[in-house]
Amino acid sequence: MTPHTEKKDIKDGQQLAQDSETGSRTLSGKIGVFIRWFAIAMSLFQLYTGFFGELPGYKQLSVHLAFALVLCYVYFPLSKKSPRHRLTVIDGILAILAGAAAIYVFANYKHWALSQGDAAVYDIVIGGVLLAFILEATRRSVSPMLPVITLIFLCYAYFGPYIPGELAHRGFRVARIIDHIFMSGEGLWSIQLRVSATFVFLFVLFGALMDKTGAGQYLINLSFATMGRFRGGPAKAAVVASAAMGSISGSSIANTVTTGSMTIPLMKKVGFQPHTAGAVEVAASTNGQLMPPIMGAAAFVMAEMIGISYFEVVKAAFIPAILSYAAIFSIVHLEAIKENIRGLTKEETPELLKTVISGVHYLIPLFILCYLLLIVFWTPTTSASWAILAGVIVAIGNNFYRTYYLFPRRQARGEENDDPAYLDYLKQPQGFVTRRIPYELLGTLEAGARNMAGVAAACACCGIIIGVVTLTGLGLKMAAFITNLAGGSLLLTLIYSVFACIILGMGLPTTATYIVMAAMTAPAILTISQDIGLGLPVLAIHLFVFYYGIVADDTPPVGLCAYAAAGIAGSDPIKTGWKSFRLDLAAFTLPFMFVYNTKLLMFNTNWVELLYIIPVSIVGMFCWSVFIQGHWVVKTYIWERLIFLGLAFMLVNPSHLYIGGVHINQHQANGLAVAILVAIYFWQRARRAKTATATLEATLT
């Protein structure tokens, strides 16, 4: 592949990500300037309310949705044939009408609040129009599947009497459905949109700031400096970089493109097949949504739906996130051994100490965020706001440092460097600092709003679904239906939930999948766990659903991350998707493990026990990786792979192990597993030595 072709593949992958995340339309001229400032105004509004408090009642949500809908219709064209570099008349009209319908609650708040349950005809008409605008905005910005599912729920609310079996209900008139969804706080204006209008927007803005100011590139460079020279180094760097990027972005497709543009070409360079290089990046990036402190929009929705602090969600998700990445890292390592893939040379690897020092200031806002969120226990909104302010101060200070110290020294020494900021400095050194600071900060504000437009539309669409669920009592009906279908078996209920998540997730983003499944299957899992006396924590059940919503993100044939990575790698998207599915199989079993062993979620345990559980579980995930790859020191036999599968469960979840009718406790099971693991290691080393000797003798003869 020529360098020109490789650059084109990277550009195509980045374009796909932009089309799906922020819209494919780019505008210039007066309209472009106006829309950019409109997006900036949205971010400034969110920052203002983050620092000084939200607007009263549902006014905050109304303004947030109005901004988002306008941006959806402006940035996401009507169809693939629509122009990409100018705003069509129809999209301009729809944007204005959608924004006007959404701002109605803000402009007529007193009337709206007093008319709940007794709405006027014009309230119902405006509400119906707004729901239609939300469905179309979601179709453009997220996926056609989510509006289709929403319409199915709306039809369920209307045709209830004609539905057979336990899911039937008395049915509701169109006016009653719209009244409940639009005029109350149990539908459109419920938790989903509130989370989007507060926590999620500010964290997305924080991630955009980190990316614009260079923190993302720094984390990638740091990953290459630490992992690059090891066997299969670029792939290991991709795993580490994606985990680091996931902790500040929470977006899997943005993570894929940001880190993949560097890691995928280098993976191919050292010997990975194109589809494997893309798959490694996809698996690592989708799991970035599991990595605290920023875990994606669904985690914030989860905290609000359950009624717990975000810190509790982060704490519970920490060990599973570590185990998930340990498994991916192990699979990548074994792939490199199996295919005899080298690492980067010393010349290709960034110098570790120099790399660490070059961008350590980028970590200051992240440390402040973690300190305020996880130690001081400030609210996510306040913590993110102050972290953003810290990021702005760091960005300004960094630009002054580069302008008056770093870049002049580089220029004096005649150094060549492809840093965009340095090249910008060389073009117009006198105006660098006065142009670069507004470019980074205003660009951050615009990017944050563009990134959030589709998320807000999806949350609003999910609010419509939740409105139908609360109106019809579908949640309780579905819980009873699943309980009867599973015959009271917790395992069968979990398996049904997995299939539902995967099927839904093929066409929906993680947040939408989680919200729908939390309303439909989580109550059934909770009911059955209580019936059998297990009494699972509610958080464990919701994390179970959340994980499978994430896994569905890279499941063929729809996974957008696989398409973006395949675009960069120049590989087949379906082949890339199936390979990433295989690499990500750890996430398929891990939720079952922490449901049956809630100590992995830090329930009913202590720090001393955790210091024992974490390393043992990491070894268990390594055993799982050997089972997946079929290779350790040498290629494994079938019976060896089955043993490794058993060892994985013995190490990660040893609480239900019986041998010959005798219960084996945790420490005994772990000790037995380690002894078997050591025995297999020496057995495989002996086989490798025997094979090498036989090969040498054959060569000599």
Q: Per-residue pLDDT tens for 182-204?
A: 998 888 998 889 888 988 888 88
User: Cα–Cα distance between 253 and 533 in angstroms, integer?
Assistant: 40
Percent of the chain with pLDDT over 90: 23
Q: Name the least confident of 13-17, 157-161, 484-488, 494-498.
A: 13-17
Is the distance from CB of 563 to CB of 266 less than 8 angstroms?
A: no
| Per-residue pLDDT tens digits for 202-228 | 888 888 888 888 887 888 888 888 888
- Contact of 374 with 314, CB cutoff 8 Å: yes
Most distant CA pair in the chain: distance in Å?
96
The pLDDT, as a whole number, for residue 122 is 93
Looking at residue 103, its pLDDT comes to: 96
Q: pLDDT tens across 637-670, in order?
A: 999 999 998 888 888 765 555 555 555 677 788 8
% the chain with pLDDT above 70: 91
Nearest-angstrom CA–CA distance, 633 and 678 = 12
What pTM, to 2 d.p., does this model score? 0.83
Handedness of CA 477, 480, 484, 486 (dihedral sign): positive
pLDDT at 237: 86
Length of the chain: 701
Residue 156's pLDDT is 93
Pair of tokens at residue 497? 């939930």
* Average pLDDT score, the chain: 84
Dihedral sign, Cα of residue 81, residue 40, residue 147, residue 294: positive
What is the Cα–Cα distance from 21 to 560, expressed in whole angstroms?
A: 10
The answer to which of 64-78, 253-267, 351-365, 551-565 has the lowest mean pLDDT is: 551-565
**H or E element, residue 664:** strand 662-664
Q: Tens of pLDDT along 81-129?
A: 888 888 999 999 999 999 999 999 999 999 998 888 788 999 999 999 9
How far is it, in rounded angstroms, from Cα 449 to Cα 434?
A: 24
Q: Is 29 left (phi over 0), alpha (psi -120 to 50) or beta?
A: left
Asked whether residue 130 carries a pLDDT value surpassing 90, the answer given is yes
Max mean pLDDT among 285-299, 308-322, 553-567 falls in 308-322
The Cα 142–Cα 455 span in angstroms is: 8
* pLDDT value, residue 64: 95
**pLDDT value of residue 105:** 94
CB 700 within 8 A of CB 663: no
Higher pLDDT, 21 or 457: 457
Task: Name the residue with higher pLDDT: 329 or 508.
Answer: 329
pLDDT value at position 134?
Answer: 96
User: What pLDDT sits at residue 337?
Assistant: 87
Cβ–Cβ under 8 Å, residues 235 and 335:
yes
* 686 phi-psi bin (left φ>0, alpha ψ -120 to 50, beta other): alpha
Pair of tokens at residue 179: 């009244």
Chain segment 35-55, per-residue pLDDT in tens: 999 999 999 999 999 888 888
Determine the Cα–Cα distance for residues 71 and 457; give it in Å rounded to an integer. Answer: 10
Task: Report the pLDDT averaged over residues 629-641.
Answer: 89
pLDDT digits (tens, 9 = 90+) for 571-604: 888 888 888 888 877 667 788 888 888 888 998 8
